[in-house]
C-alpha cells in the first residue's frame, strides 16, 4: 500500500512539474525547486494548501503513516519502530505484520549496550548503519532513540535507553542522531519526558521539581535537539503538571520549542493524545495511534475522528480555533517532509549488508561488560580447553522477538550457543538448566523455536550439575528475557531477583566447578546473592543478530572486553533512591521523585552505599595504570575553561581499551550537590606498555547547577575537585582547581 501511495504522489508530482514547466519559471511552485531554501519551499507549499489539506497532514492515515497532499505532489510520511532495528511491515490498520518476505533486518544491540561502549564512535557507527537500513526501506522517521533516564531497575523498558547519567546519555545520543539523519531519515527521540516506568504509564503524573527536571531528565533530549539537530521528538504517555506529556504546555511550548528553539515536529506516542483543545494549543504537531483499528471500527474511531482531525477542522471552520496555530504545525510537518520524503539528495541506503552485521558485532563486543574475573577464569583458552559446558535457557532462546515495539524480524540471529559452537566446535556441550519463557512470537513474527521441556526443575539442575562436573570450563547463560514483567514494554519487573529459580542453578554450578562464568542477558540490573561463590560474571545485554558471535569473541579472548556499566547495579532494591524513599509504587497515579537529583551513583555516594557494581565499572583482560592528574591552572576566572590531563598506561600483557572517566565535585557549594558527577570520558586503545595522555576540557557550563527560583544555570565561585578514574567507585587520581 505504501508503494502504491508513493507512486500516486510521484505521478502527481510529475504532473505538477510538467504543468509548472509550461508556465514562466517565476510562476511555478517554489516548493518543487530543491535549490531554494527549505523555509521558502515550506511557505510556498503552505500557501497552496486548503484548510482541509492542512488538517489532513497533521494526523495519521494508517498505523504508521500520515497523509501527504497528492494534488500538490507532496508525499506521505512513513514512520517505523524501532531504535534497535527496522520493524517489519504491518497491515494498514493492524499491528500484525503484513507478511512481506523482504522486510527482515539486522538487529542491532539494544541501547543499553550502545551506552555501555562509552564510545561516541560506536554511536556514530550505529546511527549510520540503522539509518541506512531505514532509508533502504523508504522510511522517513525512525521512532528512536530513547534517552529516558534509568531511575529504577524495575522499569521494563530500561533496555531501550542509555542509562542513569544525563551526561553519558547526552554524549552518546548526539552521534546517533546525526548519522541517522545523514540518510534523509528523521530520528524521533523518545519519550519526552519523565517516562521512567511502564506501570500505569498512561495514567501516572510525574511530580518532579524543576532542578531535578533540568539537571537529570532533560539534558539528553536537549543535546539531541541542539547538538544533534533532531528533526522530531516523541511525547511520552505519562502526565506532568496535570497534563499529558504529548500535549504539555511547559514541556513542549515553553522548554522544547521556546527555550531550546526546536524547529522540528512533536509526534505523539501511539495513543498518547487525549483531548483536542490541549492538542491544539500545547505543542503537539502530528498525532498517531489514537486507539484506532482503522477501517475495521468505522468512522467513529477512524483516522478522521482523531483529535487533530475532524474535531479540529470543525473548530477552525466555526472560528473557535486559530489558523495561525494550525499553520505552525503544518510548517513543521512540511519542513520534516522536505528534510526526508522530499529530499532529493538522500543516499540509497542498504539492508542486511555485511557491513551492518560487522557493525552490530563490533558494537556488541565493545559494550559487553566484564563485571568480575577472579582467578582469571576468563578468557577461556581454546588452545588448551577441553570440554566446555554451556548451561542456561538464554543460551538458546532468540531475543530479537518480543519486548514490545522494539520487537524485530531479524534476517538472522546467532544465539549464544550457536556462536560458542562456531568458535569452539564440538568441545561445546549443552544443558538447559532451567525453563523460563517458552513463547516465541510477537505481532505475527514467530521465532519457530520449540522450547518445550518435560523435565522437572530438580532434574534440570541435576543434569546441569552432572555435566558441569565433567567439564574443564562452565558458561552459564541466563538473566532476563523479553516476556511481560521482565525487560518488556508496558510492564515493569516485580523484583530485582533473577526469575525461574536461576539462583539455585548458579549456586549448584559454582559448587560443582570453580571455572564457572555467569553471563547475564538483560537490559537491567539483577540481584546476585551468589556473587561471592562465582569467579567470573559478564553482562551480555540484548545484542541482536550477532549475539552469539560477539559473546564468543569476548569469552574466548578474541575481543578484550572494554564495556562499562551505564547504570548502577544495587546490591538490593532498597539501595536505589526511588525505592529507599518509597517513591515508586506500580499502583500509584502520582509518582513523586523524592530522590530528586540523586539518581543512581549520586544516591549511592550520598548515602555511602556500596553497590554490587558501580556506575562506570567494567574490567579488562589487561591492567591500566594512571599517573597523577594535572590541571593547567589551579585558579581560573569564571567563564574560562579548565584543562585536566592524566597519563594512562597499559601495564598488562595484552592490548586493550580503557574508558578514562572524569567526575567533578563542587567542594564549596551553597546548595546541596552530589559528591561528584560525570563530566567527561575518553575511550583509548593501548598496546602493552603503551602510554597515552588523556586531556579533558572542563567548560564553565559543566560546573553549574540549575537554580529553580531564578530559572537559570548558576556557576558559583569556589573550589572544585576533578576525579579521574576507571569507574565511579574506582578513582585513581584527583586534582583541585578554583573558580573565581
Catalytic residue among 44, 269, 487, 666: 269
H or E element that contains 142: strand 141-142
User: Are residues 158 and 496 in contact, defined by beta-carbon separation less than 8 angstroms?
Assistant: no
Size of the chain, expressed as the number of residues it contains: 740
Distances (CA, A) of 626 to 494, 645, 646, 647: 41, 11, 7, 6
The answer to whether 531 and 612 are in contact (CB under 8 A) is yes
Cα distance between residue 218 and residue 256, in whole Å: 10
Give the contacts of 254 (CB within 8 A, at least 6 positions apart). Answer: none
Burial grade of 64 (CB within 10 A; 0-12, 13-18, 19 or more): buried
Whether 376 sits among the annotated catalytic residues: the reply is no
What are the strands, taking DSSP E only, across 241-289?
A: 243-244, 265-267
Alpha-carbon distance values, 3 to 75, 143, 656 (Å): 11, 20, 48
Q: How far apart are CA 177 and CA 529, in angstroms?
A: 39
Q: Which are the contacts of 259, defined by CB distance < 8 A and separation ≥ 6? A: none
Question: Rounded to an integer, what is the distance from CA 235 to the centroid of its chain?
Answer: 15
**What is the three-class DSSP state of 177?**
helix
To the nearest 10°, the Cα dihedral for 47, 53, 54, 60? -150
Alpha-carbon dihedral sign for residues 601, 169, 114, 483? positive
As beta bridge partners, residue 305 has none
Number of H helices, E strands in the chain: 18, 29
Grid cell 563530566 in the structure block, residue: 679
Buried b (16+ CB within 10 A) or exposed e, 340-372: bbbeeebeebebbeeebbebbbbbbbbbbbbbb
DSSP string of 220-243?
Answer: HHHHHHHTT--SEEEEPSSEETTE
Q: Cα–Cα distance between 86 and 79 in angstroms, integer?
A: 10
d(CA 303, CA 289): 9
Catalytic residues: 269
Amino acid at each position: 500500500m505504501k508503494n502504491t501511495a508513493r507512486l500516486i504522489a510521484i505521478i502527481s508530482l510529475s504532473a505538477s512539474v510538467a504543468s509548472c514547466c509550461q508556465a514562466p519559471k517565476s510562476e511555478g511552485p517554489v516548493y518543487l525547486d530543491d535549490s531554494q531554501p527549505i523555509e521558502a519551499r515550506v511557505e510556498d507549499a503552505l500557501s497552496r494548501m486548503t484548510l482541509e489539506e492542512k488538517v489532513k497532514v497533521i494526523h495519521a492515515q494508517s498505523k504508521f503513516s500520515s497523509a501527504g497532499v497528492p494534488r500538490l505532489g507532496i508525499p506521505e510520511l512513513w514512520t517505523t519502530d524501532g531504535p534497535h532495528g527496522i520493524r517489519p511491515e504491518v497491515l494498514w490498520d493492524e499491528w500484525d505484520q503484513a507478511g512481506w518476505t523482504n522486510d527482515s533486518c539486522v538487529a542491532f544491540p539494544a541501547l543499553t549496550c550502545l551506552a555501555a561502549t562509552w564510545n561516541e564512535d560506536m554511536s556514530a557507527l550505529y546511527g549510520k548503519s540503522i539509518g541506512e537500513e531505514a532509508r533502504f526501506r523508504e522510511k522517513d522517521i525512525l521512532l528512536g532513540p530513547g534517552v529516558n533516564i534509568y531511575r529504577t531497575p524495575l522499569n521494563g523498558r530500561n533496555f531501550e535507553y542509555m542509562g542513569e547519567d544525563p551526561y553519558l546519555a547526552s554524549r552518546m545520543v548526539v552521534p546517533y542522531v546525526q548519522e541517522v539523519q545523514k540518510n534523509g531519515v528523521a530520528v524521533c527521540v523518545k519519550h519526552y519526558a519523565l517516562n521512567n516506568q511502564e506501570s500505569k504509564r498512561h495514567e501516572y503524573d510525574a511530580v518532579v521539581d524543576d532542578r531535578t527536571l533540568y539537571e537529570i531528565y532533560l539534558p539528553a533530549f536537549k543535546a539531541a535537539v541542539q547538538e544533534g539537530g533532531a528533526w522530531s521528538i516523541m511525547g511520552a504517555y505519562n502526565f506532568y503538571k496535570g497534563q499529558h506529556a504529548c500535549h504539555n504546555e511547559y514541556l513542549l511550548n515553553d522548554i522544547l520549542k521556546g527555550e531550546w528553539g526546536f524547529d522540528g515536529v512533536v509526534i505523539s506516542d501511539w495513543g498518547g493524545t487525549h483531548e483536542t483543545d490541549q492538542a491544539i494549543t500545547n505543542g503537539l504537531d502530528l498525532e498517531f495511534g489514537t486507539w484506532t483499528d482503522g477501517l475495521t471500527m468505522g468512522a467513529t474511531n477512524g483516522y478522521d475522528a482523531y483529535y487533530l482531525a475532524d474535531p479540529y477542522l470543525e473548530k477552525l471552520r466555526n472560528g473557535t480555533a486559530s489558523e495561525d496555530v494550525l499553520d505552525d504545525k503544518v510548517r513543521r510537518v512540511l519542513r520534516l517532509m522536505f528534510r526526508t520524503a522530499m529530499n532529493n539528495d538522500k543516499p540509497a541506503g542498504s539492508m542486511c549488508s555485511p557491513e551492518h552485521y560487522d557493525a552490530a558485532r563490533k558494537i556488541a563486543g565493545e559494550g559487553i561488560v566484564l563485571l568480575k574475573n577472579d582467578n582469571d577464569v576468563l578468557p577461556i583458552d581454546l588452545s588448551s580447553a577441553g570440554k566446555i559446558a554451556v548451561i542456561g535457557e538464554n543460551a538458546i532462546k532468540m531475543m530479537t522477538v518480543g519486548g514490545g515495539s522494539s520487537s524485530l524480524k531479524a534476517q538472522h540471529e546467532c544465539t549464544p550457543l550457536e556462536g560458542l559452537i562456531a568458535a569452539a566446535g564440538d568441545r561445546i556441550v549443552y544443558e538447559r538448566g532451567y525453563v523460563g519463557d517458552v513463547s516465541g512470537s510477537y505481532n505475527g513474527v514467530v521465532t519457530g523455536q520449540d522450547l518445550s521441556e518435560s523435565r522437572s526443575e530438580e532434574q534440570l539442575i541435576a543434569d546441569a550439575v552432572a555435566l558441569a562436573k565433567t567439564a574443564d570450563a562452565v558458561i552459564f547463560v541466563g538473566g532476563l528475557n523479553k516476556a511481560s514483567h521482565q525487560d518488556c514494554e508496558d510492564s515493569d519487573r516485580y523484583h530485582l531477583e533473577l526469575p525461574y529459580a536461576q539462583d539455585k542453578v548458579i549456586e549448584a554450578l559454582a559448587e560443582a566447578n570453580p571455572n564457572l562464568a555467569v553471563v547475564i542477558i538483560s537490559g537491567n540490573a539483577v540481584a546476585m546473592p551468589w556473587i561471592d561463590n562465582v569467579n567470573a560474571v559478564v553482562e551480555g545485554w540484548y545484542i541482536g543478530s550477532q549475539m552469539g558471535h560477539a559473546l564468543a569473541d569476548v569469552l574466548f579472548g578474541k575481543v578484550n572486553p572494554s564495556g562499562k556499566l551505564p547504570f548502577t547495579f544495587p546490591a538490593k532494591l532498597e539501595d536505589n533512591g526511588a525505592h529507599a524513599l518509597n517513591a515508586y509504587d506500580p499502583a500509584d497515579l502520582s509518582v513523586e521523585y523524592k530522590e530528586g537529583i540523586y539518581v543512581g551513583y549520586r544516591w549511592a555516594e550520598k548515602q555511602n552505599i556500596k553497590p554490587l557494581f558501580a556506575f562506570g565499572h567494567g574490567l579488562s583482560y589487561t591492567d591500566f595504570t594512571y599517573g597523577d592528574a594535572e590541571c593547567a591552572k589551579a585558579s581560573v576566572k569564571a567563564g574560562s575553561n579548565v584543562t585536566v590531563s592524566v597519563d594512562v598506561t597499559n601495564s598488562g600483557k595484552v592490548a586493550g581499551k580503557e574508558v578514562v572517566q572524569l567526575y567533578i565535585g563542587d567542594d564549596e557549594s551553597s546548595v546541596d550537590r552530589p559528591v561528584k558527577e560525570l563530566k567527561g570520558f575518553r575511550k583509548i586503545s593501548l598496546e602493552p606498555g603503551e602510554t597515552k595522555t588523556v586531556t579533558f576540557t572542563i567548560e564553565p557550563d559543566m560546573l553549574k547547577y540549575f537554580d529553580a527560583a531564578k530559572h537559570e544555570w548558576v556557576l558559583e565561585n569556589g573550589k572544585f575537585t576533578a576525579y579521574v578514574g576507571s569507574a565511579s567507585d574506582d578513582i585513581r587520581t584527583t586534582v583541585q582547581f578554583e573558580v573565581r
